[in-house]
Structures are given as structure tokens and as C-alpha cells.
Structure 1
Amino acid sequence: MESGSLGGAGSGEDQDVSDPQRKKKRFHRHTARQIQELERVFKECPHPDEKQRLQLSRDLGLEPRQIKFWFQNRRTQMKAQHERSDNCMLRAENDKIRCENIAMREALKNVICPSCGGPPVGDDFYFDEHKLRMDNARLKDELERVSAIAAKYIGRPISHFTSIQSATISPLDLSMGSIGAHSLGGSSPSLNFDLLPGSSSSITTLPLQTTMGISEMEKSVMADVALGAMDEVMRLLQTDEPLWMKAADGRDILNLDGYERMFPRSSHFKNPDIRREASRDSCLVVMNGSALVDMFMEANKWMTLFPTIVSNCRTIEVITPGIAGTHNGSLQLMHMEMQLLSPLVSVREFYFLRCCQQINQGVWAIADVSFDFSQKDQFASLNARKLPSGCLIQDTTNGYCKVTLVEHVELEEKILTHRLYRDLVHSGMAFGAERWLATLTRMCERLACLMMTSTQTTEFGGVNASPDGKRSMMKLAQRMVSNFCVSISASNGHKWTTQSGLEDGVRVTINKSTDHSQPNGVVLSASTSIWLPVSSQDVFNFLRDERTRAQWDVLSNGNSVQEIAHIVNGSHPGNRISVLQPYNASHSNMLILQESCIDSSGLSLVIYTPIDMLSINMAMNGEDPTNILLLPSGFAILPDGRPSPGGGSASTSSGMSRSSGSLVTVAFQIHVTSFPNSKMNMESVNSISNLISTTVQHIKTALNCTGS
């Protein structure tokens, strides 16, 4: 039991035990300065540890025991105040319901039954006091449940909300202090994102079917959680020390001590079995701010913008729509799965809130924070949580914008990371802000190249390809890349199911495809990841070069290939879409469509698919490539995250970090049968596994690393 007396604003106990006959207590009343200092510390830390109590004892001239009792009593007082406030609010709500019921009873007295012309029967049932008590008990249980959720996220109970009657959602105002939100004014050019697969240029989205049973009170809690997340993200984005420190390689590292002092509720997440990843970075991208905000706030566009990171994303429900048909003030509940392109790295799954606020003209803020529900089974298996994260998007000049991004997550240590990827993942390079922005920069460059084709007609492989033709070719290649990334991911949101595990180093999955963009029937995908003692840049150059393709391409039967056409889609010379023609091929009408790309984080892709001459001609003539069948295979290459030999932080001429080796994921897809209900036989599984193993051996031989 907590003892002592509050003594007005707060007092500590000092008992006089010198006279055993007098069983009365003598209380010591604190001075105004002592109370003021104790109240100040209480606001920052209601549960001081022994070291903090000793420091206060020295500063204020009080005994540690007095300090301890004062804090105990202050916490008891706060708890009693909260309970009184809750009780008053519940009584007021009860009185309100009773008054409404009385008014309804009076109104029903005048109701005439349309069938018999008499009064309604059984109206007293609606005003049964026992029923009212049951309703009130139900409302109280609901209040306590939502209050627990609110306390978990925002550090205070539901009674601190402005009113329980505010459970009906109003447009979310995310203004923060003196920053102030300004209405959208003027107009700015935007890209035609209808060019992207699965996207729409309209901000208005179709209503989504909600299956989670989100109550109006839970929506109110979501709005308050989003406000707190937005405030925290803005401070993380705009504050350097003491929140952020510079690492040896120049990256921003979160100072956990400074973070927990600035955001005390973060101690709520302290757990020895939890690992945190926090990073911040910024860059300039070739896109105006409003267009980028539009892509971030629509799930399909956002997934297309980050195909190598986001394996699946959907908007569960729009909690609050934007103001005046814009994204300003929008709040959405979303589900996302994050991937690293390897079967050895677990998918990270999040349910999270995303809110958007226009700070002023040309400046937007977007904040994400995980949100789960009590008594919702689908959250039981989540292995990761997104702490307040987000970005600040600022228009600059000439169609560019500056993006500053914070990524902050916590993970359960039970998620084991394979030893090959441990350095890369634990360093934060696998899923950190640097990788997000490197991918964003590359994809914005790709979109800019796609938009440039609308103003000029250039020669494409000896043929004057129209702007529509080049646009169609780029859409086809983008769909090929997305299909490849999905086939590697172990995402729950896709129809691939595991057919064979990783016992032999190769994971085989199966998809019974009915998609018009893939061959109908059964498609097998096999993937594996290896480490090579060769830099990721050198591996990328080797795999994308058509002159060395015959050294590793098992299906080419030793025949070399020639590039007959290409489209440049980025500033790096390796970022291009190519059409390759095999020499001495048995099927002269078969070509290879290939896209190669690399970004500043060192991630690179070489993805290709066989394609017939007729399909290439259709795309080059500007026809819709949606129905062209694709079955892509290829490579995803990453630095291994280990320091370069000698301990230095060497870098390439393009600014990309160079490490001692690379991690290469090899993936193939094959069409097994056109009958979806056919039973799978192990012969097909063994064939695709052997195909991968042979390809890996050829690559190691060509790069002189057979012993790795």
C-alpha cells in the first residue's frame, strides 16, 4: 500500500517515533520550491529510479524515503483523478442516454400503427431500466478496451480526449504547433501515372470492403495516434543532436538515450527480446512534390514505386478522407509486407496508419505508425512493428523535390536472420532509409525517362519507334520486374505456395496461374542465394553484359547473344532495357527482353524473359502490352554489408559503397503444364533445382570463385 500524505500540492511523510506513547504521525510539509521541482520531474518521469531519487534528495534537501513516498502518492492522486473523470463522463453519458430514451418514449406515445390505427404494442420494453443498465455496462466495457489501446500508443487514458461524443470522425487536422497547415493553393504539373501498371491518376479511390469490424471509437483512437505519430516524425526529421549521431560512414544513427528522453513513452516498448532499426536519410528526386504524395497515398502506386521492397500493400480502410478532394488531412489504415530479394530473409508484415498533412505551399509530411487491435486474431502472428516513421517532401526547382525520410521499426529477436544476410540486415542497410531513398531515386529517374518519350521519336534498334512504342516497352519491362520480385517473396498476399524447402539450398514454390499476363496452368519458381567474394558492381557488370552471357546462361547452349535495341532508363549506364537476339538459336523468332538496373545503395537487378518477335513488334508499335505473356528469371545482387578489405569505407565512382563481397539471389520460373489441376511431380522440381545449381556453378567458375 502506498503511504504518506499529499499535503495539498504534495507532501512527504516524516514520522516522529521518539515517543512510543504518542501514536500520531507528524507530517513534513514541503516548500513551494520543492513541490515545483518535484512536479516538474514527475511530468517527465513518473517512475524515477533509485539514482534519480538520490539526486533529487541531494538537490531538494529531502530524504530519499520522502522522495519515494511523494512519487507514490502523486501517482495515486493522478490515478484517482482519472477514475473520477471517467466516472463523471460515464454518468453524463448515462444521463444523456436516459434523457434520449425518455424523449423517444414520449414521441412513441403519439405514434399510430399503420395497420390497425392503434398505439404500438410493448413500448415499455424499450425503457426497461435493466436494459439500460446492461447497455451502460456494455458501453463502459467498450470504453475501457479502447482506453487501454489509447494508453498503449499515446501514453494517456481515453478521459484525456476532448469528449466521448467525438467518436464520430471528423476530417483529421494534423496541424502541429507553430507550423500550421495551409490550404492547397494553385496547381502544379503532375505525371500521368496511368502509365504505371495498376495505377490511377485520380485521387478518388473506390470504397474498400472492411472485414476488421473497426468501431467508430477505435477510429477516434486512430486519429489521436496519428496526431502523436505526426508530431514525433516531424521532430525526428528536423532535429539533429541529441536525437541523431553520425556514424563512421556518415549515416545518421538514432541516439536511443536522447530519443527516450524526448519521447518518454518509448520505454513502453523496452524489451530484451526486441531489436530496433532506426535510420534517416535525404535525397533529391526527379518528381514534383504533389505527384510524389499522390503515389505515397495510394497503395498500388506506392507498391509500384518500391517493387524491390514492398511485396504486397493494400488500403484496408480510409479512416478520414483528404480535405477538398486532396490528400491533405487523409488518414488510412494499411497493410504491408516488406521483402529483401532472397528466400533466406523473412518477410516483414505491418498493419499501420498512414496520414498526410500539407505543412505549407510545396511542403508535405507523411507519417506511418503501426496499429493493432485487441481481440483481433490476425495480429497474433505479426513479427514487426513500425514505430513513428515517415518523410518530409519539399518542392525545390525544375520539377525536383527534396525527400527526408525516417524509418524506425522494432523486431522480435525470434526472427532469425540467415548468417549470409546478418551483417546487411543488422547494419540497417537492408531495410533502412538509405535503401528506401536509393530505390525512390532510381524509380523516379525511370519515370522521368518514360515521360521524356512522350515528346520525341528516336531510333530503337534500327526502327523509328514511336513515343507510344517506347512507353509500351517500358511498361512491359516494369511488369516483368514486378513479376520477378513477387516470385521470390514468401509474401502471404500472393498465391505462391512452398513446394520444397531450403534443405538443398533451393526453395521451390508453385503457382496455379489464371492471370492473363502469365501462361495458364502450373508455374514453378525456384530461388537460392549465394555469397561471392566479388564486389556487387563487378557481379552486376558481368551478368548484364551480353558478351559474357554464354558463360552462365545454361539455356543458351553456349550461344552468344547480340543487343539489337535498348532504352536508357536512368543516369547510370547500366540502367537500360534491352532486346537481345541469340546467335544460331533453334527458334529464330524468339528474343530476350532484359532490364538491368542499379541504385546508390548497391542493389542491382538483371531480369530477363524469353519473348517472341511478334510480341516485341506489338509493343514497339505502341499496342497495349498487358496480355503479353511473361515468365521472368534473373538475379538480384546486394553488397554483403561487410567492410571492405583493410577496414576502409571504399566507394565506387558513382558513390556506391563497396564491400568485400556480394549476395546474389538467382531465380528461375518455368511453365510446367497448362492444366491448373494437374498434380505436381518431383521430376519438375528436380529439373528446376538442377537448372539453378548449374547456373550458380557456371557463375562461380567464370568469376574464379569456385571455392566459395
Structure 2
Amino acid sequence: MAMEVAPLHRESSSSGSINKHLTDDGKYVRYTAEQVEALERVYAECPKPSSLRRQQLIRECPILANIEPKQIKVWFQNRRCREKQRKESSRLQTVNRKLTAMNKLLMEENDRLQKQVSQLVCENGFMRQQLQTAPTATDASCDSVVATPQHSLRDANNPAGLLSIAEETLSEFLAKATGTALEWVQMPGMKPGPDSIGIFSISQRCGGVAARACGLVSLEPKKIAEILKDRSSWFRDCRNLEVFTMFPAGNGGTIELVYSQIYAPTTLAPARDMWTLRYTTSLENGSLVVCERSLSGYGAGPDAAAAAQFVRAEMLPSGYLIRPCEGGSIIHIVDHLNLQAWSVPEVLRPLYESSKAVAQKMTIAALRYVRQVAHETSGEVVYGLGRQPAVLRTFNQRLSRGFNDAINGFNDDGWSLMNADGAEDVIIAVNSTKNLIGANNSAHSLSFLGGILCAKASMLLQNVHPAVLVCFLREHHAEWADFSVDAYSAALWKAGSYAYPGMRPMRFTGSQITMPLGHTIEQEDLLEVIRLEGHSFAQEDAFVSQDIHLLQICSGIDENAVGACSELVFAPIDETFPDDAPLLPSGFRIISLESKAKDTQEVLTTNCTLDLTSSLEAGLAINHTAVDGSSCHSLRSVLTIAFQFPFESNLQDNVATMARQYVRSVISSVQRVAMAISPSGLSPVLGPKLSAGSPEALTLAHWICQSHSRCQFSSLPIRQGLTCWRQL
């Protein structure tokens, strides 16, 4: 029986009045537990029921018969309001924790800068004193100190020597992590704030390249250390990481000897490897430390024959400092490397001498990956097509790894060059032992294949932003691809183990449907399924669907990111591809080679849209808002293309000829697109400004029209404008 209570004002809190309703005599009556339970069940199914649904609820639930439909409507309104307030309160608490941690990081950074200023003031005063006082004598004791031999415990061939090296590495790393060992400057374009993932800085005045990051992650320190130590799971360029030896350090820590291999980002440079000591220990304040340094200087390392295709890089004291805090952990990440820039062509050396590139590829990538895992663990990330987060991460890793394998073509993976005379612009590599099986899935057996053929090439681009070019390639597949060639590769992924009898003439209908699978929390990586609709020219195949499905990952499409690498990697799949489906990745990688000043970068990104439209104008004066080559540093980048094709044993030469011609046509299309979207109005090879009837201008006009039509704008003004422009 309902219990009567004293009349209450309508201004009472929703949490107290949501379970009361107003009777005809003006009194509030509290809902019974059974009534609240019935309403909550309906709310779970439909938070905003219609009038008919509320009346149906009263008829189906006799316990609600004494309540007016209007009062039930008010209950649902209050319930939605309370749910909204709860979510907002939870969000504000999360923001408050993040701001508290960020404030702590900023205060530590401020203290570090103050100490650095004090040190510089002291050094300045000392130098002034030395300049005013002429030296009267030379202290010979300094030479004796320098000439003192290193301690015998630094021998890397015994545990005691390794422990000495580990302790020294720990001391040097902590000095870098706290900001006292190197001169750190803020990473351009990465300002700290409530919406940033952390504080990022780089060091230009040091041996090698160095980057540093600080951020808050809602995971325990041990879990974070476990994730970060598995470098191959988050560092895309890590080909292999093997622990040769592991033993306790005697103080609760562990020492590991690690051999790792790093992919080359382009066909123009060799891959890198490192032989390092990794030391994991806990500090007195409860922090967990994982520090690492190269042992190459101590004469240790694996068999030299195993590293014949690699250039030995050096890791200076680096690692992770993980401090527990309320709501998770605060991470300090330091990456300090010497990538041996002397071993690459001079035009590529800026890539190996850029701290910004290391920050994007390693330091920031590590922090982003840990934050992504934390969000997935908390259930805040929802993905499409019913795929689990771990499965999507695996797809991401397999696409990146397969693409890197194709670019590098290691001999121990079975790759060998075909007709390698050094005169060809497109390199053809063959692999007859490549395994495409996903995870022991016999349904996708491709044993009938003769092998895999890869056609790859690298070229230099100028005056085109990598992110803009990758976005164009992603959204306009038909502008550069050949549908018949794509169909040849995709046919092998259809259900059933049969060989494709050969290429048939097909056409692309122009319809490209994108189905998102997932993305990282900052959307720097997009994983999606692309469906390309096509039809065969053959009459007997007129009613057969020739659609192509691609699993695709796109990354580095933020135009404001400094030092980022832009990639578009895709692989043909079946429309009902399982989690262990075989993948044969192909794609594009564009890496910026030169770092510009912050103000120049802002000018380029601000005027990007203006320059695109101005390139369509013919006979007009040069756009004064564009950045010309005389007033700014030209943007240079290296483009690497790699396409993989399956082949049968008796068709290897035919497929090789087709692949070489296809890649050359793709290169030509990319050059045409790059010329059209060049922000400075110049071609990638410093040519003249576009003319109205040029293929590049027509391509750009077609792209703009498609983009406007997708946004559901009226196409009539666009067509009229395009007609007027063509008549100029």
C-alpha cells in the first residue's frame, strides 16, 4: 500500500522526488519498490517511451494503475535528467583527476626550468669571472682525472659488470626523465592542456635524437610496464624483439639482454638493429622504472651473421618512469637514439636526425597506445561490426607488419630480387615461401599459389603536404587504381580454394563505400572496410557482383602534426572475413624530410584551402596568400609505394610485367594528384602553375565536386562554376 508523505515543493531535488508522484488532491505519494522496479525495466529498454507505450505500460502493469500517464511521463523525464547528471558528474570527476595530474606535471616542469635558470645564471657568473681574471696556472690534476681508467666492473661479460652498467643506466635515465640531463624544448604543435594526452618535448642539442613525454594513464604501473616492454605490439617499425638472457639483479629488479630489429621506413635506406641491456626495478617512492641502453660499446651482441642486413643503431639511456597516483599512473617516457644517419643517402638524413620524427613514431606512439588500452579496458571505446578491440589491434599490427615486410624484403623471410640490375625504377621482389595463413585456418589455404610478388618504388615529392595527399588517395581510390588489377588480387580471397583464371576487363562504377571498424581515441589511426562497386564488361558476367572489399588503415592525416608519417595501407578481403583472415597488404607511405619553423608551419596549414582553390584559377595573378618558394622553406617528403600480388608458378613473369607497369601508372597518377594539390601552386618537381585545361586541374576539380556532393550541397552552382572555369 502506498504511503502518504507531507506535501513537498516542486523545487526539491530530482534524486528525492523521482520516486514520488502527485495525486489528485495535491499530495505527493511515494512510488512503491515494485512500481519503481517496473518503471526501471522499461527505462532500460527505452529511456524515452512514447505516449502509446506509456499507456500500454499502465495496462500491462496493474501496480501502475493508480498513476496517471502524465505522472509516468514526468518520472521518465526526471529519470533521464538524473542519468544525465550522473554522467556529467562522472565526466567532471575524470576531468578533475586529469587536471590535477596535469597540474602536478606542470609544477614539476616549472621547478625543472627554475633549476635550469639558476644553473645557467651560476655558469654565466663563473664565465664572467674567468674572463676578467687571466689564468695564472694550469691544473694538471684534471688530466689525471680524465685519464683514469674505467672501473673493472664495467665488463659486460659477467653479471657484476652488467649490474654496474644497469645502475649507471638508471642514474642517467632518471636525470633525463626529470629534465635535468638534457635541454628539453616543447614539441611544436603539442601544447599541454585539458584535452591533450600529455606534455611532449624534444632535445636538439644532444648526441643523436631525443624525445620526452609525460602523461596520465588509468592503469596500474605493473600493467603499463608490461605493455611498454612488449615494444613490437605498439611500435610499428619494430620487426623483432628477442630476450636472450634474463637474471635477477639482487635488489628486486631484473636485467635482460635484448636484441631488436627496426624496419627501414623506405626502400632507399637499410634497416636498423640494437643490442641493449634492459633494467627493471622499483624506487623507494614506489615508482617503477624500465630503463635501457645499448651494449654495442662494450663488445657484446648476437652473431654478426644474423645482422648482416642491418645497420647497428645505438640507444642511449632511455626508458619509462611510472609513478602511481590517484586514478592510475603518471608516465615519463624518454627515447634517446643515435640512428647512424651517415649510412643513408644525404637526402634522407633529416629523417634520421629529427627528434620530432622519433617523438611521433616512438614516444608519442607509446603513450597513445597505453591510453588506448586503458580506454578499451574501461569499456569507453565502442567498435563497429561486432569486432573486439584486441582483434582490431591485431588487424592493425598485421597490416603494418605486412607492409613493412614488403618494403624491406628481408632474405630470411624468403624474399629475393628479380632482375636486379639497378637500372629499373620499380624494384620487383619474389617470395615463394610466404605464408598467408591467418591462424591455422585451413578454410583459407592458399597452398596452390606459386608465391608472392612485390613491386615497390620510392620517390621524392616537393611542395605537397603528406596528410593532404594521403587523404586524397584514401577518399578517391578510382583516381589512381586499376579496377581489373585490384579484382585479380581480390578474387583469390573469395570463398573456395581456386585459382583465378586471369584478369578480365572490368570497370569501376564510381561508388566507394566506407564502413568504419574503429579508431584510436585521438583518431590518428582509422581502421575501416572499403567496398568498391564494379561490373564486368563481359556479357556472361553482367549480373554477377564484382565488388571488391579492402581492409584499410589510414594514419597520419592530421595536417598540424609535426614529424608525423602519413600512411595508407590496405589488403583485399572477403566480405565475411574472419578474425584470422589472410592479409596481403599494399599501400603508400609519405614521410616529411624537413622540419620547418613553427610560424611557417602555421602559415602553410592556414592557407592550405586557399591554395587548393587558387590552383583552379587561370589567367589570374598569383595568390598573395600562398607561400612562395622564396619566402619559406619548401616542403620535401619521400613517398614509398609497395604493392603485393599473388601468382601461380607458371605466371610469374607475366605478373611481374603487369606489376611493374601497374606501379608505374600509380606513380604517374600520384604525381598528377600531387601537382594538383600542391599548396604552393608548384608541381612536385618545381614546375609552372597549373593551367585550366591540364589533367591535374581537371582531377582536382573532379575531386572538389565529389566532396561537395557528398556533403549534400546543391550540385548546380558547382557545375555552373566548373563550366565557367573551363571556359576561361
- TM-score (norm: length of structure 2): 0.55
Counterparts in 2 of 1:236-315, with a 5 A limit? Answer: 236-240=176-180, 243-244=182-183, 246=185, 252-253=202-203, 255=205, 276-284=207-215, 286=217, 288=219, 289-297=221-229, 301-307=230-236, 309-315=237-243
Give 2:428's aligned residue. 508
Residue 702, structure 1, aligned to residue 673, structure 2: yes
Describe the shift of the 1:367–1:660 C-alpha distance in structure 2 as closer, same or farther (beyond 3 A): same
Displacement of 1:510 in angstroms is: 2.7
Partner residue, 1:534: 464
What are the superposed Cα offsets for residues 502-524 of structure 1, whole Å, 9 maximum, x if unpaired?
64333333322135238444112
Counterpart Cα distance in 1 of 2:146 and 2:643: 62
CA shift in 2, pair 1:443/1:583, >3 Å = same
- TM-superposed CA distance for 1:603, in Å, is 1.8
Residue aligned with 1:312, SS = strand
**Cα deviation digits, residues 421-456 of structure 1 (max 9, x gap):** 2333223334x234312322443455456546x688
Q: Equivalent of 1:403, from 332, 339, 345?
A: 332
Residue 363 of structure 2, aligned match among 420, 437, 449: 437
The CA deviation string for residues 629-653 of structure 1, in whole angstroms up to 9 with x for no partner, is: 1111112222232427985565859
Between structures 1 and 2, the one with greater helix share = 2
1:613 corresponds, among 572, 575, 593, to: 575
2: CA distance between counterparts of 1:322 and 1:614?
A: 53
* Number of residue pairs matched by the alignment: 462
| 2:105 aligned partner | none
Distance 1:525 1:231, change over 3 A: same
Aligned-pair Cα RMSD in Å: 4.0
Q: Equivalent residue for 1:522?
A: 451
Matches within 5 A, 1:489-500: 489-490=408-409, 494-499=413-418, 500=420
Check whether the contact 2:335–2:363 (CA below 8 A) recurs between aligned residues: no
1:686 matches 2:657: yes
Match of 1:378 in 2: 303
Q: 1:362 to 1:560 in 2, by over 3 A?
A: farther
Question: Does the aligned pair in 1 maintain the 2:255–2:280 contact within 8 Å?
Answer: yes
Unaligned residue ranges in structure 2 (runs of 5+):
1-126, 190-200, 439-444, 487-506, 537-544, 607-632, 677-682, 686-728
Question: How far, CA to CA, are the matches of 2:426 and 2:641 in structure 1?
Answer: 9
What is the aligned partner in structure 1 of residue 586 from structure 2? 633
Q: Partner residue of 2:550?
A: 592
Which of 416, 419, 440 lines up with 2:344 in the alignment? 416
Q: Deviations over 1:13-62 (max 9, x none)?
A: xxxxxxxxxxxxxxxxxxxxxxxxxxxxxxxxxxxxxxx9xx9xx99966
User: Could you give the per-residue CA deviations for residues 495-553 of structure 1, whole angstroms, max 9, x where no partner exists?
Assistant: 434444764333333322135238444112232222332112211221222xx211012
- Counterpart residue number, 1:346: 270
Q: Give the letter for the 1:595 counterpart.
A: I
Q: How does 1:629-668 map to 2 (within 5 A)?
A: 629-643=582-596, 647=600, 660-668=635-643
User: Given the superposition, is the C-alpha separation of residues 400 and 493 from structure 1 closer, same or farther in structure 2, using an over 3 Å criterion?
Assistant: farther
Q: Which residue matches 2:158?
A: 218
Q: Give 1:490 deviation, angstroms.
A: 4.9
Name 1:478's counterpart in structure 2: 397
Q: Deviations over 1:195-246 (max 9, x none)?
A: xxxxxxxxxxxxxxxxxxx9xx523322221111111111122234x73154
- Structure 2 matches for 1:74-113, cutoff 5 A? none
Q: For 1:527 and 1:361, how far apart are their aligned partners in 2?
A: 52
Cα deviations by residue, 1:296-322 (Å, 9 ceiling, x for unpaired): 33xxx3202111x21222112213379
Deviations 1:132-160 (A, max 9, x none): xxxxxxxxxxxxxxxxxxx7xxx3224x9
Aligned residue number for residue 144 of structure 1: none
Residues 386-397 of structure 1: matches in 2 within 5 Å?
386-396=315-325
Judge conservation of contact 1:639–1:659 (CA < 8 Å) in 2.
no
Kept in 1, the 8 Å contact 2:480–2:666? The answer is yes
What is the TM-score normalised by the length of structure 1? 0.57
> Whole-Å Cα distance in 1 between the matches of residues 645 and 250 of structure 2?
45
**What are the within-5 Å matches in structure 2 for residues 567-578 of structure 1?**
567-573=517-523, 575-578=525-528
The one-letter code sitting in structure 1 at the alignment partner of 2:451 is: V
Whether the aligned pair in 1 keeps the contact of 2:508 and 2:535 (CA below 8 Å) is: no
**How much does 1:573 deviate?**
4.8
Q: Which amino acid aligns with 1:641?
A: E
> Is the contact between residue 166 and residue 279 of structure 2 (CA under 8 Å) also seen in structure 1?
yes
Query: Percent identity between the aligned chains?
Result: 17
| Paired residues of 1:449 and 1:570 also in contact (CA < 8 A) | no
**Aligned-partner residue type, residue 433 of structure 1:** A
User: Structure 1: where are the runs of 5+ without partners?
Assistant: 1-51, 79-150, 162-213, 257-275, 620-624
Q: 2:666 corresponds to which letter in structure 1?
A: T
Give yes or no for contact 1:550–1:559 (8 Å, CA) kept in 2.
Answer: no
Q: 2 CA distance for matches of 1:508 and 1:684? A: 10
**Displacement after TM superposition at 1:249 (Å):** 5.1
> Partners in 1 of 2:145 and 2:594 — Cα distance?
50
Aligned residue among 478, 496, 506 for 1:550: 478
* CA deviation after TM superposition for structure 1 residue 350, in Å: 0.9
Residues 402-431 of structure 1, C-alpha deviations (whole Å, 9 max, x = no match): 333131326273x13351x2333223334x
Instruction: Render the CA deviation track for 1:285-338: whole Å, top value 9, x for unaligned.
Output: 6552332210233xxx3202111x212221122133798xxxx61211111122
Instruction: Provide closer, same or farther for how the CA distance between residues 235 and 694 of structure 1 changes in structure 2, counting only shifts above 3 A.
Output: same
2:169 pairs with one of 207, 229, 248? 229
* Structure 1 residue matching 2:333: 3-state secondary structure: strand
Deviation at 1:593, TM superposition (A): 1.4
Deviation at 1:665, TM superposition (A): 1.7
Alignment partner, residue 105 of structure 1: none
CA–CA distance in structure 2, aligned partners of residues 239 and 692 of structure 1? 47
